């Protein structure tokens, strides 16, 4: 068991601490989205001066990159609008976590795997590293938003302000009554992103990492198109959850049960695969 903890610590050091540039990247990207949200809010105030009477909260700033887009109705004749920021944030996470496990398996990881004498430790260590990575990236996003709230004179609260639905172009008739609280989504979003990245890492044991990235992107794009509980990207789109939407929403509590099950299934599939794959003669 001690070997396993050593492997996890090794992965956390090499996969998170040594790759601090990615952490910084998330900090800067979130800071930029915060600035953009602030500008959008100020611009909204030009048309609707009352919008400026309520200050933006921490919940607003952290919701903005996690929001996604409201449900698309096929056959409506309207073009599909893909949530560019949401897709960028989730695919950026998928990208920065994509090649660490694969690189490790083509380099030093083979030695650690042989020395630990248990293949399963290597895989479980990678799962732990992935979970910690997602937590660190989301924590950094929260810290960045908190910093901006403090600088811009916002409110440190997880409640969403009344102006956010207008900024996110939501239909007021579809919304549940205020107040809206983002705490549930703050748990579901990282969990769902972890599930997507875990599936991607698992697939990279079967196919080339580049193709596993394509699969992640397909899942996310299909999720933007169709609100279906099988398309797990929906759980990462906060504006589709029952926090906001009244009719046929994505249930946060269902998500908090389904997504961990998907993660467990992915971990189990990984254990099955790693025990049977030819590591030494694996194609680079």
Partner 1 sequence: MKLIKIEMRKALQGKPFLISLVIGVTIAVLGAVFAILQEYDIWHAWEKIINADGTMNSNPLLAVSSLFRVWLGGNVDSVYTMVFYYFLPLLAALPYSWSLRSELKSGFVKHMVLKCGRLRYYFAKFSAAFLTGAVTVFIPLVINYIIVACFVPARMPDPGDVIYHAVYRDFLFSKLFYTAPLLFDIVFMLLDALFAGVWASFVLSLAFFGLNKFVILIGSYICLLFHQYITRVIVAYRFFIELSPFDFLRAYQSGSPPNGLVVAATLLVIFGAGVVVTVVRGTHDDVF
**Contact positions vs partner 1 (CB under 8 A):** 36, 40, 43, 74-82, 84-85, 87-88, 91-92, 95, 98-99, 209-211, 213-214, 217-218, 221-222, 224-226
Residue 2 token pair: 């001690």
CB 258 within 8 A of CB 235: yes
- Name the minimum Å distance from CB 23 to partner 1: 16
For partner 1, the closer of residues 102 and 184 by Cβ is: 102
**Which of 250-257's residues contact partners 24+ apart within 8 Å by CB, and which partners?**
252/184, 252/185, 252/188, 253/184, 254/229, 255/188, 255/191, 255/192, 256/184, 256/187, 256/188, 256/191
Strands (E), the chain: 159-160, 180-181
Residue 62 token pair: 């952290």
- Name the minimum Å distance from CB 253 to partner 1: 28
For partner 1, the closer of residues 74 and 172 by Cβ is: 74
Q: How many Å is the Cα radius of gyration of the chain?
A: 20
The span from the CA of 120 to the CA of 274, in Å, is: 7
For partner 1, the closer of residues 90 and 263 by Cβ is: 90
For partner 1, the closer of residues 47 and 177 by Cβ is: 47
CB 24 within 8 A of CB 17: no
The span from the CA of 284 to the CA of 102, in Å, is: 9
- Name the minimum Å distance from CB 240 to partner 1: 16
For partner 1, the closer of residues 222 and 254 by Cβ is: 222
For partner 1, the closer of residues 103 and 242 by Cβ is: 103
- Name the minimum Å distance from CB 272 to partner 1: 25
The span from the CA of 125 to the CA of 106, in Å, is: 16
- Name the minimum Å distance from CB 157 to partner 1: 25
- Name the minimum Å distance from CB 4 to partner 1: 28
For partner 1, the closer of residues 160 and 167 by Cβ is: 167
DSSP for residue 142: H
Q: Which of 74, 92, 72 is nearest to 82 (CA)?
A: 72
- Name the minimum Å distance from CB 126 to partner 1: 17
For partner 1, the closer of residues 202 and 220 by Cβ is: 220
- Name the minimum Å distance from CB 3 to partner 1: 29
Residue 202 token pair: 């698992």
3-state SS, residue 190: helix
């Amino acid at each position: 068991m001690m070997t396993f903890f050593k492997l996890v610590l090794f992965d956390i050091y090499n996969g998170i601490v040594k790759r601090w540039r990615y952490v910084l990247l998330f900090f800067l990207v979130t800071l930029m989205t915060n600035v953009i949200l602030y500008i959008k809010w100020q611009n909204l105030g030009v048309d609707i001066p009352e919008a400026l009477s309520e200050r933006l909260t921490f919940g607003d700033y952290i919701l903005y990159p996690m929001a996604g887009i409201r449900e698309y109705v096929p056959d409506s004749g309207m073009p599909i609008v893909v949530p560019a920021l949401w897709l960028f944030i989730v695919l950026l996470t998928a990208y920065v976590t994509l090649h660490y496990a694969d690189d490790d398996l083509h380099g030093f990881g083979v030695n650690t795997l042989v020395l630990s004498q248990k293949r399963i430790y290597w895989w479980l260590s990678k799962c732990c590293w992935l979970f910690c990575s997602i937590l660190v990236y989301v924590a950094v996003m929260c810290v960045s938003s908190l910093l901006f709230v403090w600088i811009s004179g916002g409110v440190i609260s997880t409640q969403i302000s009344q102006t956010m639905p207008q900024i996110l172009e939501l239909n007021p008739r579809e919304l549940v009554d205020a107040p809206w609280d983002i705490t549930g989504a703050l748990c579901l979003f990282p969990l769902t992103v972890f599930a997507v990245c875990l599936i991607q890492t698992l697939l990279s044991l079967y196919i080339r990492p580049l193709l596993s990235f394509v699969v992640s992107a397909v899942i996310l794009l299909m999720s933007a198109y169709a609100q279906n509980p099988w398309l797990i990207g929906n759980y990462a789109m906060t504006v589709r959850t029952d926090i906001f939407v009244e009719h046929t929403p994505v249930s946060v509590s269902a998500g908090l049960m389904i997504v961990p099950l998907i993660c467990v299934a992915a971990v189990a599939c990984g254990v099955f695969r790693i025990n049977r794959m030819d590591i030494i003669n694996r194609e680079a």
